[in-house]
A and B are shown apart, each in its own frame.
Chain A
Amino acid sequence: MALFKRIQSAIDRGIGRRRLGYLLLGLVVLFFLWFPNDTSQSNYAKTVFISGFFYAILSSSWALLAGIAGQFSFGHMAFMGIGAYVAGLFARDGITFAALGIALSPESISAVGAIIIGTTAAGLVGLVIGWLLLRLRSSYLALFTIAFSELFRIAMLTEYDFTGGSNGLSLRPLLEVADVDTARQIEYYLMFGLLIACLLVMYRVTHSPIGIFLRAMREDEDAASALGVNVVRYKILVFVFTSMIVGLAGAIFYSDVGSERIIPEQLEVLQMSLIIAYACIGGMESLLGAAAGAFISRYLLEAMRQVVITLPFGLTMADGSDAFVWETGAWRFALFGLVMVLTLRYMRNGLLYPIFTWFSGRDLVMKETVAKRKHDEDHAAMLEDQDE
């Protein structure tokens, strides 16, 4: 502890915590940029990372919606699905607006065009859902979005001829690169770039006046409204914004970037619960925390598929080996659940919150405030003594 305090005071006197934080963040980004160039890494490892980036986008955008704006929605995966399904259906079937005399054949819609259409569709549905949710709060909002999410999943599952049912729907591939290794590398950078872009845009929003209004809305909608905040506008805005982010992520990821097809199973409430869990573990009120929580959790869940346990004290198995392989199966999710329970019980702001707080120097500001108050109390006591 004494060593930690000495290191801490050296950092405070030297580079400063905030600058050190940015430096470390820069190193993490550099690591991710370097990673696919490491020839010892398999394509499987890159696939795990791509999946991690995708879930980091989902989790951080949910953190914006629920953790920062206070709209505890279970519909996030459904919006992701809308983006992917609409992109896939448009690219496959095209669209005809007879009344307007517009007819777009499937051939005339590129993969990028389909992704844009999918993203727009997710935003439009977000607009409608946001409007319908205006008068709903807390548990009612959660129940409504669960119902909406299930309704969408069942529709995709049941309309077999149209959506492919449980077999899922293939989207038009975004990249057409023959070499598998090169394709993986490009896909990796594409998803990583998308994650960085989404985080930057969301960071910009949360650090603008809109971010302050969203947090005020989360704390107390009536009080925010009485202070001049147009709650209706910002509630709809945050739904549309986050729906478009996950719609875009879904449309890109399933355009053969991270996965070759979207299946209704991805839209189950269980999947949504995982997104929430990632955000809670990382930190629901922090975009970076939620993104890191999702990426690390995904990585660990993947790494824990098989656990090799080496026996201590020279013990051996019946076959003479000194280690055994544990196929964790569903147990890794049980362990993940335990981490979630402990996090919510003991560190409600997420496991990464103390780290972010330390790097932001927030605890120093609080200490300064407390010190000032102590000073004020001393001053007041001195005045009272003088009066006597």
Chain B
Amino acid sequence: MSEINLELNKIAKRFGGNQAVDHVSFSVTKPQLIGMIGPNGAGKTTLTNLMSGMLKPSSGTIYLNGLRIDGRAPYHVTRAGLGRTFQITRALNRMTVMENMMVPGLAHEPGARQSDLEDRARQILSMLTIDHLTNEYSRALSGGQRKLLELGRLLMLDPSVIILDEPFAGVHPRLQETIYNYIHRVHEDGKAIIFISHNMGAVFELSQRLIVLNFGALIADGEPQQVKNDPAVIDAYLGHDEDD
């Protein structure tokens, strides 16, 4: 089981006059399934981009397993043990499914034998039920299959923390089940998973901990049932009466 210690200290990101992420702090110290929710524009994806190195924070620090990763290049963060998927799937279109799997495999283990990496890739693709598409160009895959491919690529990196941005969006129910299984299995392997979703059913079914953002600030962090009844969360989702 990989060591997990992700720590965000007062992370902030400002785009001009817009405070996209407002001094957010939280830490992940064990293999947990963490749901991250919030209304549109709450700063979920921006926070993901800050954690994965796609954006540099305006202030604050992020540590992963004792290594400071804020402002580091994405490939550096990935090699430090944090993997992510994208809200809009980013398959490498003019490369086959196997080649898509080999990119993280070769980047993560430069000295590994290609045949060993291919064997591992086949096992992962089989688990994700897309092994029959191994030699297909990824542009030929359906939206759901591309999501599965993204999830498979993450496993080639063997990260300790995985961030899934909207893993269920636009996916056929049958494939959603495969993604559910994936999340459970990866979690059992001892990895921490932070997943962003607007699918409340999935969020409450899967999460052991829930983080809620609104207007870039963290407004709740705790067990799902406790967070569900939090007045600040209810207010963020349902709004409040002007007279109150």
- List chain A positions with a Cβ less than 8 A from chain B: 209, 212-213, 215-216, 218-220, 222-232, 285, 365-366, 368-369, 372-373, 376
Contact = CB atoms under 8 A, between A and B. Distances in A.
B103 interface: yes
Contacts of B102: 212
Contacts of B86: 223, 226
16 contacts: A212-B95, A212-B102, A213-B107, A215-B99, A216-B103, A219-B92, A219-B94, A220-B92, A222-B54, A223-B92, A224-B103, A226-B75, A226-B84, A227-B75, A232-B73, A368-B135
A215 B215 CA distance: 38
B132 A228 contact: no
A242 B94 CA distance: 22
Interface string B126-155: 000000111110000000000000000100
Interface string B68-85: 000001110011000110
Contacts of B99: 212, 215
Best-surrounded residue of A223, A228, A285, A373 (most CB of chain B within 10 A): A228
B73 A230 contact: yes
B38 interface: no
Contacts of A209: 106, 110
B134 to A, nearest CB: 8
B198 interface: no
A229 B106 CA distance: 9
B214 to A, nearest CB: 26
Contact of B153 (A227, A232, A366, A368): A227
Contact of A227 (B54, B104, B134, B136): B104
Interface residues of B, number: 32
B100 to A, nearest CB: 8
B90 A220 contact: yes
B103 A212 contact: yes
A125 to B, nearest CB: 25
A228 B157 contact: yes
Contacts of B153: 227
A224 B134 CA distance: 19
Contacts of A376: 132
B120 interface: no
A222 B90 contact: yes
Nearest to A365: B135
Contacts of A216: 92, 95, 103
Contact of A369 (B78, B103, B136): B136
B113 to A, nearest CB: 12
Contacts, number: 84
Interface of B: 52-54, 73-75, 78-79, 83-84, 86, 90-95, 99, 102-104, 106-108, 110, 132-136, 153, 157
B75 A219 contact: no
B133 A212 contact: no
B79 A228 contact: yes
Nearest to B82: A226
Given A228-B79, A228-B157, A213 B90 contact: no
Given A212-B103, A213-B106, A373-B132, A226 B92 contact: no
Nearest to A224: B103
Contacts of B107: 213, 227-230
A212 B53 CA distance: 22
A227 B157 contact: yes
B54 A228 contact: no
Best-surrounded residue of A223, A230, A365 (most CB of chain B within 10 A): A223
Given A227-B157, A228-B103, 6 more contacts: A215-B94, A226-B78, A226-B83, A228-B78, A229-B103, A365-B135
Contact of B132 (A222, A232, A372): A372
A306 B83 CA distance: 62
Contact of B74 (A226, A285, A365, A368): A226
A164 to B, nearest CB: 44
B92 A213 contact: no
A369 B73 contact: no
A220 B86 CA distance: 12
